[in-house]
Amino acid sequence: MNDRLETRVTRMLGIRYPIVQSGLARIAGAELAAAVSEAGAIGQISTVGLDGPDELRSEIRKARSLTRAPFGVNFPLGRADIAAMLDAALEARVALIAFTAGNPAPWIRRCEGSGARILVLTAGPELARKAEAAGADIVACVGFEGGGHLGRTEETTLVMVPRIVDAVRIPVLASGGIADGRGLLAALAMGAEGVEMGTRFVATTEARAHDAYKRALCAAEPEGTVVIKRSLGTPGRVLRSPYVQHVAALEAAGASAEELLPLIAGSVNALAVQEGHLNQGYVWAGQSVGLIREVEPAGEVVRRTVQQALAYLARLRGMTREAEIEVERT
Ligand SMILES: Cc1cc2nc3c(=O)[nH]c(=O)nc-3n(C[C@H](O)[C@H](O)[C@H](O)COP(=O)(O)O)c2cc1C
């Protein structure tokens, strides 16, 4: 079976399938990135939680010991140690550098001439156009059903993707709510040239997350996620828990940033992700939890996603053939 799904994104990155594993903060290490890339998609190592450039170099070396396929490194902006870690990633000649949560323009300039492809995560046509003008090679757009940080407009993936496809000339990745082959095919049908999946890859054997977190994702329904941090201007979707309900109630009651920030600190997230104390912290998760029922190897997720997209594509082709026959009969 010819199972290639070729787009500008696959050609640009030298990969087989247009699936990008999100830069999952504190969760996406060398093992996950390598497993995704080895299966023909592309994984990313997250820099969140790493101790600095030496630890990043060691993650890159580890990923290279597990796969010869290209992978990326993900940089949420606004942290103090970005420059040194970015230089380490560029020196190591990784295939993909991704920026999110901040103005990527100065950092894209720093990557010039490195040979790395630049992905920028956005949440609206205006930001996508700015990323294109700044030199991004690919933009990913995340709709409001997604896990982690979201745009402020609450625009969902189904509306945002075609709007961004119309707004830029560079290839677009659809993100937010995509966890299987139907989502991949729908994204391609809307003009996206691939998808970025986050929550789906947390529930994999290679993800550096506590089993309790992975199991909770498999058990959750979409209404088991909730958006917090709206009052701070940085909305993010997390898994519902008594802890999160408490934070949401404080926000609704008008709590100040000083009151909220200690409750939503990265260290609180780290504790829940790594120790599995889901009631003493918060973990990111998208509505796509409703499509995830099993913790699986990441490579298996990639293979099944592609096979399902192709099966549904064949079904659509069947529909158009039937339509042609109908037309001939009339
Ligand atoms: C656990 C988790 C951690 C995330 N951390 C990051 C991150 O560090 N950098 C980033 O670019 N996006 C991050 N995201 C957001 C994803 O890039 C993406 O927008 C989102 O996962 C898409 O929605 P989905 O979860 O339904 O696939 C994270 C998402 C999740 C679920």
Q: What is the mean pLDDT of residues 21-27?
A: 96
Instruction: Indicate which residue's Cα is closest to atom 12 of ligand 1.
Output: 23
Q: What atom in ligand 1 is closest to the CA of residue 209?
A: 1
139-196: pLDDT as tens digits: 999 999 999 999 999 999 999 999 999 999 999 999 999 999 999 999 999 999 999 9
pLDDT at 75 over 60: yes
Instruction: Indicate which residue's Cα is closest to atom 6 of ligand 1.
Output: 24
Q: What atom in ligand 1 is closest to the CA of residue 145?
A: 26
Confidence of residue 121 (pLDDT cuts 50, 70, 90): very high
pTM: 0.96
Q: What is the mean pLDDT of residues 220-229?
A: 97
pLDDT at 2 over 70: no
Q: What is the mean pLDDT of residues 231-258?
A: 96
Mutate-to-test residue for ligand 1 from 19, 20, 24, highest number of ligand atoms within 8 A of CB = 24
- What pLDDT shows up at residue 81? 81
Q: What is the 3-state secondary structure (H, E, C) of the chain?
A: CCCCCCCHHHHHHCCCCCEEECCCCCCCCHHHHHHHHHCCCECEEECCCCCCHHHHHHHHHHHHHHCCCCCEEEEECCCCCHHHHHHHHHHCCCCEEEEECCCCHHHHHHHCCCCCEEEEEECCHHHHHHHHHHCCCEEEEECCCCCEECCCCCCCHHHHHHHHHHHCCCCEEEECCCCCHHHHHHHHHCCCCCEEECHHHHCECCCCCCHHHHHHHHHCCHHHEEEECHHHCCCEEEECCHHHHHHHHHHHCCCCHHHHHHHHCHHHHHHHHHHCCCCCCCCECCHHHHHCCCCECHHHHHHHHHHHHHHHHHHHHHHHHHHHHHHHHC
272-312: pLDDT as tens digits: 999 999 999 999 999 999 999 999 999 999 999 999 999 99
247-263: pLDDT as tens digits: 999 999 999 999 999 99
Q: What atom in ligand 1 is closest to the CA of residue 288?
A: 26
Residue ranges around ligand 1 (CB below 6 Å): 22-25, 27, 46, 48, 74, 76, 98, 100, 121, 142, 146-148, 175-178, 196-200, 202, 284-286, 288
